[in-house]
Amino acid sequence: MVEGIPLIQRGEQVCDGCALGKHHRAPFPRASAHRAETGLELVHGDLCGPITPATPGGKLYFLLIVDDFSHYMWLELLKSKDEAFASFKKVKAAAEFESGKRLKALRTDRGGEFNSGVFTVYCNEHGIKHNTTAPWTPQQNGVVERRNQLVVEMARCLLKSMQVPGRFWGEAVTVAVYLLNRAPTKSLNGKTPFEAWFGKKPGVRHLRTFGCMAYAKKLGPGVSKLSDRSTPRVFLGYEQGSKAYRIYDPVNNKLIVSRDVLFDEKKSWNWGEKRTGTVDTAATETAPSFSVFYPDEPQATVADPTTEDDDDLVDQFEPASPVHSIPAQGGNGDESPHTPVPSFGGSNGGNLVQ
């Protein structure tokens, strides 16, 4: 091609100039070289947040744990990062009880919530092998990182589709995990994470549109002969450990747990006027979004009626467990779910939103 260039033998020594000026990251494998063969052989954990605005319960973070074998997920909402250790212990206890297996390995990043002294001592005492990623290398924990992204994206879509305010992101991410555990994934060859974890197919007949209008029947004292038999409210999810739905009352700022619900999945609440009833989703303005802040990345803005009976709701619940650390409860067994620790006051099921 040219003349006058001497023949140069390629040397094996490192060129300082090239190392300083052209050093790139080593390529990452397209697929993991190892895949767990049984449940709890390896689980992945990650913390997402802070997320603004805070939920009505003051939550700013969520802890997501994914089983490598089944891809089943557990979610815990947190007020601060220091709650991650207690939440991890709750999830571990519930998962071990349900599966009858012991947790062998945990893979996380190098965040302080996972590398604290008490966390390290706990893993050592319980024989848990704690693997951590290299600094600034989330690709080494890609299973939970991808699921984390998917949960946030689905929560954003759930909120936007029915113009639900961003402060209810806690309910949205809980429903997102609930749905993803019952959705097929190509990594499981035709199975859902729920079936891979529990060994039976989940029921989905009880699923309803997040944020739609829900008419919860009035029960208890104070209902006269001529009073209304139901009140229009907003559907926000599925109550764990109960054959019931989570219904929010925007007028009284109260969460209602009820099984007697009529749904109008084509209408959403008019959040602009607190005491106004329904509004068509096509004419509703966009509600405020929520944001997820990642310390190592730029801030990303996230921003006909039917009835149910007990037979349809049975499929919603998972096998009984004495530890209430898994928000995504569901299943189609005949066994009765455990009775959860009461988290709401009054006979009408009033409660605070997460």
pLDDT tens readout for residues 122-136: 999 999 999 999 999
pLDDT tens readout for residues 3-26: 888 877 776 778 888 888 988 888
pLDDT tens readout for residues 234-249: 999 999 988 999 999 9
Q: Give the model's pLDDT for residue 291.
A: 63
CA distance 275 to 42: 50
Entry pTM: 0.76
Q: Give the model's pLDDT for residue 27.
A: 85
Q: Would you say 333 and 173 are in contact if contact means Cβ atoms under 8 Å apart?
A: no
CA distance 39 to 69: 5
CA distance 319 to 178: 15
Name the average pLDDT for the chain: 80
* φ/ψ (deg, to 5) at 177: -65, -40
From the number of C-beta atoms within 10 Å of its C-beta (0-12, 13-18, 19+), residue 212 rates as buried
CA distance 310 to 206: 10
Question: Worst-scoring range by mean pLDDT, 89-103, 183-197, 285-299, 340-354?
Answer: 340-354
Nearest partner of 78 among 44, 55, 107, 109, judged by Cα: 55
